Amino acid sequence: SETPTSLPFSSPRLIATMGKYVQAQRKGKSPIFKAHVRTRKGAVKLRSIDYAERRGYVRGVIKDIMHDPGRGAPVAKVQFLNAYRYKRDTELMVATEGMYTGQFIYCGKKATLTIGNVLPLSQVPEGTIVCNVEAKVGDRGAFARGSGCFAV
């Protein structure tokens, strides 16, 4: 039987350095494997639910549709009037197919069922194709957010 000393390499230092590094495990070790987030546009979320959205609807206008590096789906910059202060709120949302700049979108319970509008799932008929669905009420979007993703 062969003993560990009869192997061609008897140094314990050589045994420790054999093999290859797994690239997925190097992500925390060196800066070249970290995600480049400097040019990202920001967190993509739905509007936070307020009184106007729970009871009626809020109108917003799509100011820009842009590409977000590291994301497959395009991002829409939507501007809403603030209900409580004299200012405008800008939200980043996942752009759906058929959205265009200058389009008015409506968010709320009484919004109509058209492309780009945000409604509660209880108001949407069964079998409708939707995207950016909340897992829990108020989590601002969890399912079907990627490029080409949808839920029925």
Alpha-carbon torsion (71, 76, 79, 80), positive or negative: negative
pLDDT at residue 110 is higher than 70:
yes
Overall size of the chain counted in residues = 152
For residue 34, the number of C-alpha atoms closer than 13 Å in the C-beta half-sphere is 7
More confident residue, 4 or 79: 79
The residue-averaged pLDDT of 37-62 equals: 93
The residue-averaged pLDDT of 116-143 equals: 93
Q: What is the pLDDT of residue 54?
A: 93
The residue-averaged pLDDT of 26-39 equals: 71
More confident residue, 6 or 34: 34
Longest dimension (CA), the chain: 85
Q: How confident is the model at residue 44 (pLDDT cuts 50, 70, 90)?
A: very high
pLDDT at residue 13 is higher than 90:
no
